[in-house]
Amino acid sequence: MSLTTEFAAKVAIVTGGANGMGERVAHTLAEAGATVVVADRDAERGALVVDEIGAAGGVAYFSHVDVSVESEVKHLIESVLSSHGRIDVIDNNAAALELTANDGPIAELEADVFTDSLRGDLFAPFLCCKYVIPAMVQGGGGSIINMASVSGFAGELTLSAYGIAKAGVMQLTRAVATQYGRQGIRCNAIAPSFVTTRNNDLYAPPELQGIYERVTPVDRVPSPQDIADAVAFLASERSQMINGQVIAVDGGLRAASPIVAGYRGWQESGR
């Protein structure tokens, strides 16, 4: 790890920081000098991430929390404030991705899967915003980064509840940005496409990455580090005039016409 000082004296919370892209975000902010609170319900992995950050010379703490439970989010924010005195950054990254396996077309979707997805994917970041905003205002401002998804931009065949929740995350972002900008708080969202996380490597259908690669203008899909770099930028002073935006980190997927995949297939088949 090469340590820098961009986030020196800053305190950052990363929800879902025990795995996947949240883990990378935690490492990246710690490498830039932040004190990082890894807030996750996975205590085993959370402790490991915190140990790894410490071993590399960074400063990180683990907080065991379910961010979809209001009393736990309230306690998280209060305890970070009392231990560290301030909160400058929160990456609302945690989501109930395990539910996507039971997501599906609207008429076939179990009502419980829908409400649980909204709770894990939208209510949780709402709670984190609700409780972190007064803490940030008290400290003179801060940066909130919500994790959306390209699934929140357009209809998909199966990810109904997930996509609806992520579209809500985008509107949550615009609401916070509009309401608290004058108090020094910026709020932006990142919308990744398929990311090469450990869980995707293990559990996603193997064809899925190839489907994304086929339609992505650049020659690969994003890595967790690509997402972490975007989070670090939005968390930093370098993005001071970026507020209320949903930034797609998708290699240009959203910019490409929907016919690109079919056209590529047609070209490759020799027309």
> Nearest-CB residue to ligand NAD?
20
Number of residues that bind ligand NAD (CB under 6 A): 29
Residue whose CB is less far from ligand NAD, 6 or 42: 42
Residue 217 contacts residue 230 (beta carbons within 8 Å):
no
* Residue 212 contacts ligand NAD per CB under 6 A: no
* Residue 251 contacts ligand NAD per CB under 6 A: no
Q: Bridge partners of 189?
A: 146, 246
Minimum gap (Å) between residue 209 Cβ and ligand NAD: 9
* Distance, C-alpha 149 to centroid of its chain: 8
Tell me if residue 203 is catalytic: no
Residue whose CB is less far from ligand NAD, 183 or 209: 209
Q: 82, 83, 20, 24: which is closest to 53 by C-alpha?
A: 24
Minimum gap (Å) between residue 114 Cβ and ligand NAD: 16
Span from 3-11, 52-60, 173-181, 194-202 in contact with ligand NAD (CB under 6 A): 194-202
Residue whose CB is less far from ligand NAD, 18 or 113: 18
The 10 Å Cβ neighbour count of residue 259 is: 10
Given candidates 102, 158, 171, 200, which one binds ligand NAD under the rule CB under 6 A? Answer: 200
Given candidates 117, 143, 149, 243, which one binds ligand NAD under the rule CB under 6 A? Answer: 149
The DSSP string of 121-180 is IIIHHHHHHHHHHHHHHHTT-EEEEEE--GGGTS--SS-HHHHHHHHHHHHHHHHHHHHH
Which residue bears the tokens 């970026």? 242
Residue whose CB is less far from ligand NAD, 137 or 213: 213
The active-site residue, picked from 162, 203, 212, 263, is: 162
* Distance, C-alpha 164 to centroid of its chain: 16
Tokens of 158: 């199966």
Q: In the sheet where 35-40 sits, what is the strand order?
A: 59-64, 35-40, 11-15, 89-92, 142-147, 185-192, 246-249
Residue 136 contacts residue 81 (beta carbons within 8 Å):
no
What does the radius of gyration of the chain's CA atoms come to, in whole angstroms? Answer: 18
Minimum gap (Å) between residue 51 Cβ and ligand NAD: 15
* Residue 192 contacts ligand NAD per CB under 6 A: yes
Cα–Cα distance for residue pair 148/173, rounded to 1 Å? 9
**In the range 17-56, which residues lie near ligand NAD by CB under 6 A?**
18-22, 40-42
Instruction: Tell me whether residue 106 is exposed, middle or buried, using C-beta atoms within 10 angstroms of its C-beta: 0 to 12, 13 to 18, 19 or more.
Output: exposed
**In the range 103-132, which residues lie near ligand NAD by CB under 6 A?**
120, 124
Minimum gap (Å) between residue 25 Cβ and ligand NAD: 9
Minimum gap (Å) between residue 61 Cβ and ligand NAD: 15
Question: Which residues participate in catalysis according to the annotation?
Answer: 162
- Kindly list the residues in this chain that would bind ligand NAD in the complex (CB under 6 A): 15-16, 18-22, 40-42, 65-68, 93-97, 120, 124, 147, 149, 192, 194-195, 197, 199-200
